[in-house]
Amino acid sequence: MMLEGWQHLSLIELTKEKGLQIGPFGSQLKAEEYTEDPDGVPVVMPRDILAGRIVSTQINRVPKTKAEKLKKHKLETGDILFPRRGDLSRIALVDDEQGGWLCGTGCLRARLTSGTDPKFLITYLNQKAVIDWLEANAVGQTMLNLNTEIISDLPVLAPPLPEQRKIAEILQTWDEALEKLTALRAAKDKRLGALRYAMLFGELRLDDQRRNWVPTRLASITHELTARNGAKGLGRDYVMGVTKAQGVVPMREQTIAGDISRYKRLPPRAFAYNPMRINVGSIAMNVRDEEVLVSPDYVVFACNADGLDPDYLDHLRKTSWWTHYINSGGSGSVRQRTYYDDLAALKLPLPELDEQKAIATVLNTARDDLAATEREIDAVTRQKRGLMQKLLTGEWRVPLDHTEISATTEEAEHAG
C-alpha cells in the first residue's frame, strides 16, 4: 500500500535536465597538470569519498586557469556523486565548501531538482539496500561498473519535500553525534599512544620513582608453551585465530583441520602469533578467562610471574618501537618468519614488577576509556541504522506543522 504523498521514482526523475554527467578527466589531464598550490581547484575522485562525504585531505588540484576551461564540470552545492566502478558505496553529497570543485575521473554527477532535498537523498542512497541494488545492476565481472543508464534507473521512495527535510533534520542529529564521538575516539586513541610511549620508556614516571630500568631479554622473563590439545582435549568451539584488529577471535569452521589434537593450548593472559604474520601485527594476548586452542603453526608463550606483567607487555607490543624490532628481525629469505627464539632475543626497557603493574593499570584505564567510546559509537550507529529503516520506508511518519507545509508550497510555486 502506497503511503500518502510518497512516490516510487527513478533517480532521473529527481534530477534536472542533463543532470547526470560523467567526470571529464583521465587522459585529458597528465600528472604534470596538477598543482600543489593550495589555491588550486580540487578535483574529486571516488577515492576521496567516504561514508557519504568528500573527505580526502590529499585531494588533487588543478590551477585556476585550467579549472576555468573545465567550468562546465564544476560541482554545485547539493550535487550527488556516484562512483563509476569499484566500491559502489562511495556516494557523496557536495556541501557548501565543495561547490565550485571539479567532478573528476571515475565520478558520475547527479544534479537535483528543487523538489528533492539533497540531505535526504544522500541518506537514502547510503542505505545497504541501495548499495545492493547498484551492485546487482552493475556490469562487469572482474570489477563492477556503473553508467548513467544504470544510475538513472535507480529506484527511490520519496516522500513530499517537507517530510524529506524533516527526516534529514532528524538523522542529521545522529550524524552530528557520531562526528563528535568519532573525534573523541581519535583524541583518546592519540592520548593512549602518547601515554604508552611516555610511560613504557620512562619519560613519565609514577610516584617520582627513580630506579634504573634494566634492559632485559624477553627470553629471561617469558617461556614458550608447546602443550597440545590431545585426543580428548578441548572441542572445536575453542579453536581461535589471531588478527591485528580483533586479537584472539573464533576461527572460521572451514579453516579448522579435521583433527585438532595437535592444536596448541593458549592459557589466559598468554600470547600467540603466526610466525609469518607477526610483522603485520597479528599477535595478541588471550584476554578470556578460559584456555583456548590455536593452530599448531602458531608460537605460544607466557610471561614469567616474577618477571613480566602480561598487561605491560600487551601495551608494549602496540608501540612503534616493537614494530620496528619485529620488522628488522626474524629469519627466512622469502617471507619473514619470527619464531620464539627470534622474539626472545628482544631487549625490553623494563622497570621492576611493581612499577610494571602500576604502569599497566594506568594504561588499561586509558584503553578501557577508549573502548567505551568505541562501544558508544557502535550503539549510536545501530540506533541510526534502525531509525533510517523506520523513517525511509515510512513505517514511522514524522510530524509536520502547517507552517512547514505552507513554506514549502510557496517555495515550489515561486520556483515554478
Which pLDDT tens digit goes with each residue over 151-191?
Answer: 999 999 999 999 999 999 999 999 999 999 999 999 999 99
Give the torsion through C-alpha atoms of 237, 238, 243, 244, to 10 deg: 130
Which pLDDT tens digit goes with each residue over 178-228?
Answer: 999 999 999 999 999 999 999 998 887 777 665 678 899 999 999 999 999
CATH topology of domain 7-158: Adenine-n6-DNA-methyltransferase TaqI; Chain A, domain 2 (3.90.220)
How is the chain split into domains, by residue range? Answer: 7-158, 160-213+352-416, 214-350
How many whole angstroms separate alpha carbon 189 and alpha carbon 320? 14
% of the chain residues with pLDDT over 70: 91
CATH of domain 214-350: 3.90.220.20
CA angle centred on 405, ends 403 and 409, rounded to 5°: 115
How many whole angstroms separate alpha carbon 207 and alpha carbon 60? 50
Query: Which pLDDT does position 23 carry in this prediction?
Result: 57
Q: Please tell me whether residue 137 adopts helix, strand or coil conformation.
A: helix
Closest CA to 76 of 121, 22, 40, 112: 112
Grid cell listed for 127: 542505505
Query: Which pLDDT does position 1 carry in this prediction?
Result: 55
Which pLDDT tens digit goes with each residue over 343-363?
Answer: 999 999 899 999 999 999 999
Task: Give the chain's mean pLDDT.
Answer: 89
Confidence band (pLDDT; 50, 70, 90) for 28? low
How many whole angstroms separate alpha carbon 39 and alpha carbon 37? 5
> Does residue 129 have a pLDDT over 70?
yes
Positive/negative CA dihedral, 317, 320, 325, 327 = positive
Query: Which pLDDT does position 412 carry in this prediction?
Result: 46
Where are the strands (E) in 33-154, listed by range?
41-44, 49-50, 53-54, 60-62, 80-83, 92-93, 102-103, 107-112
- Residues 322-342: what's their mean pLDDT? 73
Closest CA to 81 of 21, 157, 127, 139: 21
Examine domains 160-213+352-416 and 214-350 and report if their fold is the same: no
How many whole angstroms separate alpha carbon 186 and alpha carbon 158? 36
Give the pTM.
Answer: 0.81
CATH topology of domain 160-213+352-416: Helix Hairpins (1.10.287)
For residue 50, give every residue at least 6 positions away whose Cβ sits within 8 Å of its Cβ, in sequence order, or none.
56, 90
DSSP states of 95-124: -GGGTT-EE-TTEEEEEE-TTS-HHHHHHH
Tell the residue number behind the cell numbers 599448531, with chain if given.
296
Q: 410 or 259: which carries more pLDDT confidence?
A: 259
